[in-house]
Amino acid sequence: MRRGGFRLLVLACALLLAGQARAADEPRLALVIVNGAYQSFDRLGATYADGEKIATALNATGFVDASGEGPVQVRRDLSREAMLQAIAQFREKLAAAGPKAFGTLYFSGHGAALGSYGDVMLLPVDASRDVSAETATLTRAALTRNLLESGAKTVLIVLDMCRNVLSAPPPALVQTIATETGVDAGAVGELAGSKGLRRMVRAPQAAIRPDQGYLVAFSTSPDQVAFDDGIFSKVLAEEMRRPQQNIADALKRVSDRVALSSGKNFQKPTFDYGLQGAPPCFISCDRSSNDRFYDCANCPWMRAIPAGITAYGSPPSEPGRGGDEPVQADVKIDRPFAIGVYEVTVAEWSACVRDNACPKLGNWAKENPNPLIPATDISYEDAQAFLAWISVQSGRAYRLPTEQEWEYADRGGAQTAFPWGDDIGPSQANYDHTASYRGSDTAPYRGYPEVVSGYPPNAFGLNQMQGNVWEWTSGCTDPSCRARIIRGGSFQSAPGELRSANRFTLPPGKRRQDAGLRVVRDLEADEAGNAS
């Protein structure tokens, strides 16, 4: 056997053993349904291969079939009665698996949104084009509630289907819809659909126990179609088998990779999120990711920063100090806030471009389609367009950090020139390594931005506040804001420009190939208590 083949065998055995160990503590069951041979709708061809990819990935990550034993099977072309029977059996087996069970339901086929109130329904192969009260038993809301009532700790529902809108629900459906969604029947027609992933938010009727949670992943956005030849399921199957990420990480990476795809048929995944505590993992978890969150599929990862006091500015004796830097003094940050764990990535920016909300800019990922390369060549005005877009996508008001917030988040309590001390070296940040600061070590010039997670995080768990790309703030140089302030330095900067207090000014319309952004939003009352 060749050495490469032996390594693959060892890896496969390791994954199998990991899956067996996990199954003992966290029973995993999965139901995979793929419908293609529709009677009243267009037939689908690729959906069968999609189901096989997902079933293979689930088997590799420790799941057993919804029947309670054996590898995950693909159930094809189910009628309404057969779908209801399969779901009922799945719920029964989840209940028998106990309160730590992790259940996954994957559906690929035709689907549609029901009117303006935001829910969607899964279509069996014998579905007619007329909406009836029976249809409500196969909606996203009904499925989520039904499976959580099994007592399973975590329920993941993946719906690879269209969400184009049918007519408003007939009167016979109104009371059923009201019961499912937990709102007054008179308000059913006014309900809005989910805006995306919300930390600490879920429908009040969804969970039975405080530790239960769910994540519903849609392969496309509200009011949009899902293509039979889309790449969503292929990418999802790959990410399920990627180690060191929980299910929220995996779905975020799926969305980012889909945004970077070059296919003509673009879909933008969206999520309905109600996970509690640390989400489960497919393979293994990165424990450092447990306290971060995101508000929509292509929104940046965020971390809550508590209120506090920070050193702001530089002492007169600090080498490299600029004349526009205030003399160091303590500044109070009165309110906690959330800030991006990373600089905005090319994948996140590309999703905004795909929605025609952001300009298409030059970037460093053309030869390297890594979704974690930072978005660059961004002006202050471009940044505002992105902030407006994710504010709409998430339903939250995003903005740039103030200079005080940026320096507070950057320092993490340090009063030194850099968050890690008064010296700097090539292993600590991405800058012009040929230059020296106070006799620091040098290295060959790299000359390009690296992945946003490429260097260790600071005390607040934020990556690459120093170097990589300059980051826009809301700071101005004068009352009319004819110039704006960027912070942090870049891969082209001399090391002294990476000092926490350093400021650099640019006109708001100016683009630089080494300028990007990091986003901020204010925390709501139920979130602020978790910032500590």
Which pLDDT score is estimated for 204?
Answer: 39
Q: Return the ∠ at Cα 214 (arms to 35 and 204), rounded to 5°.
A: 120
C-alpha 505/C-alpha 484 separation (Å) is: 5
C-alpha 527/C-alpha 229 separation (Å) is: 40
In a domain, 488, yes or no: yes
Evaluate whether 327 touches 318 at the Cβ level (below 8 Å): no
First to last CA, the chain: 53
Same domain as 270, residue 253: yes
Task: Output the six-digit token pair for 142.
Answer: 């009904």
Task: Output the six-digit token pair for 332.
Answer: 């109070």
Which pLDDT score is estimated for 186?
Answer: 58
- Of 411, 382, 319, residue with least CA distance to 517: 382
- Of 121, 108, 106, 134, residue with least CA distance to 164: 121
Helix (H) / strand (E) element for 146: namely: helix 140-148
- Of 367, 306, 300, 364, residue with least CA distance to 336: 306
Which pLDDT score is estimated for 45?
Answer: 85
Same domain as 454, residue 468: yes
Which pLDDT score is estimated for 520?
Answer: 98
Which pLDDT score is estimated for 264?
Answer: 64
Contacts of 156 (CB under 8 A, 6+ apart): 102, 103, 104, 105, 214, 215, 216, 217, 247
C-alpha 457/C-alpha 465 separation (Å) is: 8
SS (H, E, C) 366-428: CCCCCCCCECCCCCHHHHHHHHHHHHHHHCCCEECCCHHHHHHHHHCCCCCCECCECCCCCCC
Evaluate whether 309 touches 501 at the Cβ level (below 8 Å): no
C-alpha 428/C-alpha 413 separation (Å) is: 18
The DSSP bridge partners found for residue 29 are 64, 103
Give the end of a domain, one of 248, 265, 288: 288
The DSSP bridge partners found for residue 302 are 293, 340
Q: Give this prediction's pTM.
A: 0.82
Residue linked to tokens 């909406």: 131
Which pLDDT score is estimated for 481?
Answer: 93
Q: What is the pLDDT of residues 258-309, one digit of tens each?
A: 888 776 666 788 888 788 778 899 999 887 777 888 998 899 999 999 999 9
Same domain as 270, residue 413: no
Task: Output the six-digit token pair for 8.
Answer: 């693959």
In a domain, 192, yes or no: no
Q: What domain range is 276 assigned to?
A: 28-185+206-288
Which pLDDT score is estimated for 281?
Answer: 93
Helix/strand/coil for 86: helix
Low-confidence ranges of the chain (pLDDT < 70): 1-24, 114-118, 129-136, 163-208, 222-229, 263-266, 363-369, 528-532
Which pLDDT score is estimated for 208?
Answer: 62
Helix/strand/coil for 291: coil
Which pLDDT score is estimated for 269?
Answer: 87
Give the end of a domain, one of 288, 308, 323: 288
C-alpha 349/C-alpha 337 separation (Å) is: 22
Which pLDDT score is estimated for 140?
Answer: 87
In a domain, 427, yes or no: yes
Give the end of a domain, one of 288, 321, 336: 288
Instruction: Look up the CATH number of the domain holding residue 259.
Output: 3.40.50.1460
Evaluate whether 159 touches 47 at the Cβ level (below 8 Å): no
Residue 25 identity (one-letter amino acid): D
Same domain as 398, residue 359: yes
Which pLDDT score is estimated for 175?
Answer: 62
Which pLDDT score is estimated for 13?
Answer: 39
The DSSP bridge partners found for residue 31 are 105
Instruction: Look up the CATH number of the domain holding residue 449.
Output: 3.90.1580.10
Same domain as 407, residue 481: yes
Task: Output the six-digit token pair for 339.
Answer: 């800030």
Same domain as 216, residue 322: no
What's the number of domains the chain is made of? 2
Which pLDDT score is estimated for 9?
Answer: 32
State the CB neighbour count (10 A cutoff) for residue 135: 23
Which pLDDT score is estimated for 8?
Answer: 29
